[in-house]
Amino acid sequence: MAGDPGQELVDILDEAGRVIGQATRRVMRTYRLPHRCCYLLVFNDRGEILVHQRTATKDVFPSYWDVCVGGVPAAGESFAQSARREGHEELGVPIEPTFLFSVRYSDAATVVFGEVFRVIHNGPFAFQPEEVTQGRFVTLAALQAGIQSGEFSPICPDGWMVWQQFQSGNWGA
């Protein structure tokens, strides 16, 4: 990531998820403007999921644990392009994501229209230091135990919603 991420241009959406303009990432966050996000669930060949901790400098959910790699597409960038770019930037390896389903998420901090992708990669990863402080593959049982014990707390609420939808198999529009 070069320069000030707050100055990156992102697409702003209407209530139906259609692009209606662009704004800087900082303006988008300040005014809680609806925007796009790509989410990547990263698994290894053993079916373990990558869990990582976000840096304390993230503009939303700093220092939270997350089950999704990803981010906000640049203005005009497709979800698939963003998924490849974000995955490569954050993991430090080229990836080939597979689209799974679309999501919508909102809370007091953010309003997101997203697309979820699956990635199979065994690492090793060279985590982007501006984005990720640590990460590792865990079994699905260890993920659940880590959530219950607080080891993976706090957990990113949008990523957790994505994970729950993935687990449920409810991938309808």
DSSP, collapsed to helix, strand or coil, labels residue 58 as: coil
Closest by CA position to 85, among listed 75, 99, 97? 97
pLDDT at 1: 44
pLDDT at 169: 87
DSSP for 112-156 reads EEEEEEEEE--------TTTEEEEEEE-HHHHHHHHHHTTT-SB-
Averaged pLDDT for residues 81-87: 96
pLDDT at 172: 61
Share of the chain above pLDDT 90, in %: 90
Averaged pLDDT for residues 145-168: 95
68 has pLDDT over 90: yes
What residues form the annotated binding site for Mg(2+)?
86, 90
Averaged pLDDT for residues 65-86: 96
In this structure, the number of other CB atoms found within 10 A of the CB of residue 171 comes to 12
pLDDT at 59: 85
Closest by CA position to 154, among listed 68, 64, 67, 69? 64
pLDDT band at 50 (very low <50, low <70, confident <90, very high): very high
120 has pLDDT over 70: yes
pLDDT tens for each residue of 126-137: 999 999 999 999
pLDDT band at 2 (very low <50, low <70, confident <90, very high): low
The rounded distance, in Å, linking the Cα atoms of 156 and 66 is 5
Containing 28, the helix (H) or strand (E) segment is: helix 25-30
DSSP, collapsed to helix, strand or coil, labels residue 17 as: coil
DSSP for 72-87 reads PPPTT--HHHHHHHHH
What residues form the annotated binding site?
86, 90
pLDDT at 171: 73
pLDDT at 109: 87
pLDDT tens for each residue of 107-118: 998 999 999 999
Share of the chain above pLDDT 70, in %: 96
Domains of the chain: 5-168 (3.90.79.10)
